[in-house]
Chain A
Amino acid sequence: KQEVTQIPAALSVPEGENLVLNCSFTDSAIYNLQWFRQDPGKGLTSLLLIQSSQREQTSGRLNASLDKSSGRSTLYIAASQPGDSATYLCAVDTGANSKLTFGKGITLSVRP
């Protein structure tokens, strides 16, 4: 059974820091990995999708990397801002049918 872990559960940093959020998974036979953002009381917003054949994806200040063999992904946030405060979730698709297994998320607080 696929298990996805995100540690730590919460993180507080001052504005301007560059951040790395980690995600690990137990079964390396994945089709893709997706990073989401969730604001309190809201739905999930897709940030980046990395397909199994890719090593990284970039969108603005965000960069996500994938190392399938070691079962790890990282989300890099450059020059963090208070507006980046949210919960960040990673999810893996092991069946190519969008049945996602989620980590429990990292709640990020960026202090002004």
Chain B
Amino acid sequence: NAGVTQTPKFQVLKTGQSMTLQCAQDMNHEYMSWYRQDPGMGLRLIHYSVGAGITDQGEVPNGYNVSRSTTEDFPLRLLSAAPSQTSVYFCASAGTGNTEAFFGQGTRLTVV
């Protein structure tokens, strides 16, 4: 089982560029979410989804866009990258029924 797969692992962007961080899970989980991890701030929720076609904002959604057209995939789009978006991004998934969350290996993004 691959679990939660994130691509790319590393990315450098110039300010103003756009890109999509990919996340796929093969566990048929309904819940998927995106977090960013910054030194001294811990992990903070960006966006989440409770099923295909349903998304909602988390704690720090500005500058990010998501959609969920299938159960398996939950891409995160940076519309116009800013240096403040330099971070490590993690995607997570979980099944319904009060179950544990599984995390991908992360994408380390640098915006210059």
Cross-chain contact A44 with B48 (CB below 8 angstroms): no
Number of interface residues of B (CB under 8 A): 25
The SS class assigned to the B binding surface is strand
A49-B99, A104-B42 as given contacts; A43 in contact with B104, CB under 8 Å: yes
Within 8 A of A (CB), among B39-81: 40-45, 48, 50, 58
Partner of B33, one of A31, A34, A51, A98: A98
Partner of A98, one of B31, B40, B90, B106: B31
Number of interface residues of A (CB under 8 A): 24
Instruction: Considering the complex, give the chain A residue whose CB is closest to the CB of B43.
Output: A102
A97-B31, A104-B40 as given contacts; A32 in contact with B98, CB under 8 Å: yes
Closest 6 CB pairs between A and B? A98-B94, A44-B103, A104-B42, A98-B31, A43-B105, A49-B100
Q: A98-B94, A100-B43 are in contact. List 9 more A-B contacts (CB 8 A).
A: A42-B105, A43-B90, A43-B103, A43-B106, A46-B100, A49-B99, A102-B35, A102-B44, A104-B41
Residues of chain B whose beta carbon lies under 8 Å from any beta carbon of chain A: 31, 33, 35, 40-45, 48, 50, 58, 90, 92-94, 98-106
What are 17 A-B contacts defined by CB distance under 8 Å? A31-B98, A32-B98, A34-B101, A43-B105, A46-B100, A49-B100, A93-B98, A97-B50, A98-B93, A98-B99, A98-B101, A99-B33, A100-B43, A100-B45, A100-B92, A102-B44, A104-B41
